């Protein structure tokens, strides 16, 4: 029996969110077809301004990639604009002639920018600001032209102006109102915002009425003229004077529209077979242009498409935030106040902080925050819930952490929030949902919270609060997500990427040289930055930089893992998991001699001696070295183990010699330090007994060679490795694996696992560097081998007393 057909016109955030909600509750109900006029899959339109500003790339804002559509069985038509809806035949017809029948139709056609009806509005160089094409056009214009004018001092206009300024243009913002964001801010906050933006180099012309756009000799816009006769140069004009619901298609098909496609509380149009969501919709006379209401609509619409019939959309209370880095503002509700309202105001002009709360009948009905918006979500929740604030009125202005008993004071905003407080207004995600996901799914990073809860995945303004929730939930286990904009630590304002770049470009070869050149606040560094600096130095200049033992963690200095009782764990290396009677005898002798209480076989096919006293470490390692054994580096940010199955050497199912391959890889990588621990595995056949699918590099033998997988992680949150490529020979396995690990060593941030590195840069980027660029791959592999060539092969000869000297030093060093 065939499924009913659901066709969606529009591939934006509201429509695709509806499909996501539908797939959660009725994944097999419809055959789904989607038409998108743009050539891109669903992306986060809210984050176009960071793309324009150069803070993000287009790939960073993709919400649902092509794989998502494929995995959910969606028939996707990109770059196809729908020209007609035949409601009698129930068909959708695209401009290229594509015809799709429907049983249910979902209209998510969004909105279009309002182009001022003035002479010259169709000149080359005059654009709206709604999509990736507009953003690309502005980026290209910034490379060729100097003067830009943005018409409109609303949210979108200011974000466009800031982005163009960061791209190097002289930008003037023309606004018809008396102050900026007059629909979101009162005059005081609006003036403070203007001052902040003027300090960034923007120019403002307020209460100006545009009369015409003037063409230059080339036919491109060259100037803008106002009704008072004033004229200024303009080689790029961005119309950001508002949006209009895109109702043309609906109207042409006879669907009732009035300032939008009119829908009821189930998001159904006057045609019961046709639903509509998003900016194209008029619900109870209101068309919403913010994402939070659109996602609320999506959830209700999906409920009815699934025939549940229990959801109702009754309208939304909205709040506003500006996406201009370094400027914090928030407004919600009746922020202007008026009759029968009270206002509580804090105005610190010198400090750049302004807070205004509007109260009516002992309830918060509106507010404006500028400069300090941390309590915005809490105020918004009080407003939405209509809570009586009589008892906390005196402390209300000072935020949530100051409300209640003394025990609450001094807590982070996140710790003081209740579980039912809304954190992400865009997606309606409450604190309790985030905390539950963190605990149940083992989340440790902001990216993981975004992936599993949708919080902070839209406008991103609640990202800081989400990180606070991570920190308060995980306690000491929390490590802030590595970011190319975040300082390495409190000793500096520089990021990991800044430091790596300076070390490379300035040829810095010591920790002291880095901290001096980059003007570290604490010249000696700290326990966070010194190990990172030491790694970046020795990985960038392996033959010039001197390894600093005092910048390593105690485990790496002791060549053993410290345990909770203060004793140590010693793991000698067994190449590829293979050993000999002589090695086993040496391990047994050491265990008896030093009275080791526990001997355990590890998950990486090694033997762990647990409970070794610190004073015995140098002597134990000397005894093991005398038997030809070296450290397994089970403590280091380094190559740990290469796990193998018995492979074609012994197994009747084996297709490749996995033990031999594993030994080759481990010997090749011996002595390799890296941003975090690295584990490899080689399986002799697709049965994958060595668990290669959850390793940093996994090699699986097949009839014609090997498949190579990367960026797996079998830790607290399992990440399945991703397929990188297929190769035919052992030599290619070593070259590809080595090149990938060298790329990670050169670009990964300290304490960033390979899975997080690949998530950050993208698998396509890694494939381009390793698979597609053959010369680049060989160069990476050569750099890896060069960095390791000073490490003597411990299989062939001993370390000439180097370990002994190192441990003699260790014996007089504090833990």
Q: Which residues participate in the annotated binding site?
A: 645, 651, 685, 689
Give yes or no for a contact between 14 and 112, defined as CB atoms under 8 angstroms apart: no
Question: Binding site for [4Fe-4S] cluster, residues?
Answer: 645, 651, 685, 689
Q: Residue with structure tokens 């509509």?
A: 276
What lies within 8 Å, CB to CB, of 410 at 6+ separation is 401
What lies within 8 Å, CB to CB, of 674 at 6+ separation is 539, 637, 638, 639, 741, 744, 745, 748
Q: Report CA torsion sign: 196, 200, 203, 209.
A: negative
Question: Binding site for siroheme, residues?
Answer: 689
Buried b (16+ CB within 10 A) or exposed e, 365-392: bbbbbbbbbbbbbbbbbbbbeeeebeee
Give yes or no for a contact between 267 and 288, defined as CB atoms under 8 angstroms apart: no
Q: Order of strands across the sheet with 91-94?
A: 82-86, 91-94, 99-101
Give yes or no for a contact between 438 and 450, defined as CB atoms under 8 angstroms apart: no
Distance between CA atoms of 184 and 95, rounded to whole angstroms?
39
Distance between CA atoms of 691 and 721, rounded to whole angstroms?
10
Give yes or no for a contact between 455 and 431, defined as CB atoms under 8 angstroms apart: no
Q: CA–CA distance from 100 to each of 90, 302, 802 (Å)? A: 9, 21, 74
What lies within 8 Å, CB to CB, of 595 at 6+ separation is none
What lies within 8 Å, CB to CB, of 813 at 6+ separation is 549, 550, 557
What lies within 8 Å, CB to CB, of 199 at 6+ separation is none
Q: Which of 549, 553, 573 is nearest to 562 (CA)?
A: 553
What lies within 8 Å, CB to CB, of 291 at 6+ separation is 13, 14, 46, 426, 458, 459
Q: Which helix (H) or strand (E) holds 661?
A: helix 658-669
Give yes or no for a contact between 343 and 357, defined as CB atoms under 8 angstroms apart: yes
Distance between CA atoms of 380 and 386, rounded to whole angstroms?
10
User: Structure tokens of 105?
Assistant: 């139709």
CA 190 to chain centre: 31
What lies within 8 Å, CB to CB, of 354 at 6+ separation is 188, 189, 192, 345, 346, 347, 348, 368, 369, 370, 371
Q: Which of 166, 165, 161 is nearest to 180 (CA)?
A: 161
Q: CA–CA distance from 175 to each of 150, 228, 464 (Å)? A: 9, 14, 31
At 192, give phi and psi (nearest 5°): -65, -40
What lies within 8 Å, CB to CB, of 540 at 6+ separation is 500, 503, 504, 746
Q: Where are the alpha helices (DSSP H) in 42-154?
A: 48-52, 66-71, 132-144
């Amino acid at each position: 029996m065939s499924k009913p057909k659901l066709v969606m016109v529009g591939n934006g955030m509201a429509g695709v969110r509806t499909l996501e909600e539908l797939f959660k509750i009725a994944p097999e109900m419809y055959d789904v077809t989607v038409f998108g006029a743009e050539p891109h899959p669903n992306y986060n339109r809210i984050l176009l301004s960071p793309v324009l500003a150069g803070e993000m790339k287009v790939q960073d804002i993709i919400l649902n990639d092509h794989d998502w559509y494929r995995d959910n069985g969606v028939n996707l038509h990109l770059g196809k604009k729908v020209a007609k809806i035949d409601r009698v035949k129930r068909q959708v017809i695209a401009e290229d002639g594509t015809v799709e029948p429907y049983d249910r139709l979902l209209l998510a056609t969004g909105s279009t920018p309002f182009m001022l009806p003035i002479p010259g509005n169709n000149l080359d160089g005059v654009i709206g600001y709604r999509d990736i094409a507009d953003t690309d056009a502005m980026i290209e214009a910034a490379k060729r032209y100097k003067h830009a004018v943005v018409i409109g001092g609303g949210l979108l206009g200011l974000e466009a102006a800031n982005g163009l300024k960061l791209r190097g243009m002289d930008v003037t913002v023309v606004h018809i109102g008396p102050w900026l964001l007059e629909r979101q801010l009162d005059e005081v906050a609006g003036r403070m915002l203007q001052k902040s933006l003027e300090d960034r180099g923007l120019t403002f012309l307020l209460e100006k009425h545009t009369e015409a756009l003037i063409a230059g000799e080339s036919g491109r816009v060259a100037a803008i003229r106002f009704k008072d006769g004033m004229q200024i140069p303009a080689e790029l004009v961005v119309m950001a004077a508002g949006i209009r619901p895109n109702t043309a298609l609906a109207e042409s098909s006879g669907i009732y529209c009035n300032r939008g496609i009119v829908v009821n509380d189930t998001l159904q149009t006057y045609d019961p077979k046709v639903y509509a969501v998003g900016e194209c919709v008029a619900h109870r006379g209101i068309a919403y242009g913010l994402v939070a209401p659109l996602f609320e609509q999506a959830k209700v619409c999906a409920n009815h498409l699934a025939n549940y019939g229990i959801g109702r959309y009754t309208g939304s209370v909205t709040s506003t935030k500006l996406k201009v880095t370094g400027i914090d503002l928030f407004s919600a509700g009746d922020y202007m106040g008026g009759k029968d309202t009270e206002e509580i105001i804090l105005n610190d002009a010198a400090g750049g902080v302004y807070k205004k709360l509007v109260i009516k009948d002992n309830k918060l009905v509106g507010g404006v925050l500028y400069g300090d918006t941390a309590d915005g979500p809490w105020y918004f929740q009080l407003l939405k819930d209509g809570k009586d604030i009589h008892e906390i009125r005196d402390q209300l202005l000072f935020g949530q952490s100051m409300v209640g008993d003394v025990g609450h004071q001094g807590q982070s905003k996140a710790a003081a929030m209740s579980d039912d407080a809304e954190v992400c207004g865009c997606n309606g995600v409450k604190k309790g949902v985030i905390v539950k996901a963190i605990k149940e799914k083992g989340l440790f990073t902001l990216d993981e919270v975004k992936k599993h809860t949708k919080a902070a995945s839209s406008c991103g303004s609640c990202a800081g609060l989400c990180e606070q929730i991570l920190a308060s939930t995980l306690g000491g286990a929390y490590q802030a997500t590595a970011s190319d904009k975040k300082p390495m630590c409190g000793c500096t304002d520089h990021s990991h990427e800044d430091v790596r770049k300076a070390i490379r470009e300035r040829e810095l070869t010591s920790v002291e040289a880095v901290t001096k050149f980059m003007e570290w606040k604490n010249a000696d560094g700290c326990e966070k930055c010194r190990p990172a600096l030491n790694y970046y130095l020795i990985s960038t200049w392996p033959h010039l930089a001197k390894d600093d033992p005092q910048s390593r963690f105690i485990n790496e200095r002791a060549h053993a893992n410290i345990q909770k009782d203060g004793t140590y764990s010693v793991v000698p290396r067994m190449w590829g998991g293979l050993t000999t009677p002589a090695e086993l005898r040496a391990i047994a002798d050491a265990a008896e001699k030093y009275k080791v209480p526990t001997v355990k076989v590890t998950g990486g096919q090694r033997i762990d001696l647990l409970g070794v006293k610190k004073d015995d470490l140098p002597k134990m390692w000397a005894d093991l070295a005398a038997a030809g054994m070296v450290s397994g580096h089970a403590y280091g940010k380094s190559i740990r183990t290469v796990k193998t199955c018995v492979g074609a050497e012994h197994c009747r199912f084996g297709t490749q010699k996995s033990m031999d391959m594993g030994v080759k890889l481990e010997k090749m990588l011996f002595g390799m330090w890296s941003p975090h621990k690295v584990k490899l595995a080689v399986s002799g056949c697709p049965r994958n007994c060595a668990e290669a699918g959850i390793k940093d590099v996994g090699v699986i033998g097949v009839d014609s060679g090997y498949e190579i997988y990367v960026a797996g992680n079998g830790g607290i949150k399992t990440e399945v490795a991703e397929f990188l490529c297929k190769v035919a020979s052992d030599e290619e396995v070593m070259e590809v694996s080595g090149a990938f690990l060298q790329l990670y060593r050169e670009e990964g941030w300290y304490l960033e696992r390979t899975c997080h590195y690949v998530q950050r840069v993208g698998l396509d980027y890694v494939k381009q560097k390793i698979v597609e660029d053959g010369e680049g791959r060989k160069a990476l592999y050569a750099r890896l081998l060069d960095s390791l060539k000073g490490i003597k092969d411990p299989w062939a000869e001993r370390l000439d007393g180097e370990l002994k000297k190192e441990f003699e030093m260790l014996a007089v060093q504090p833990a």
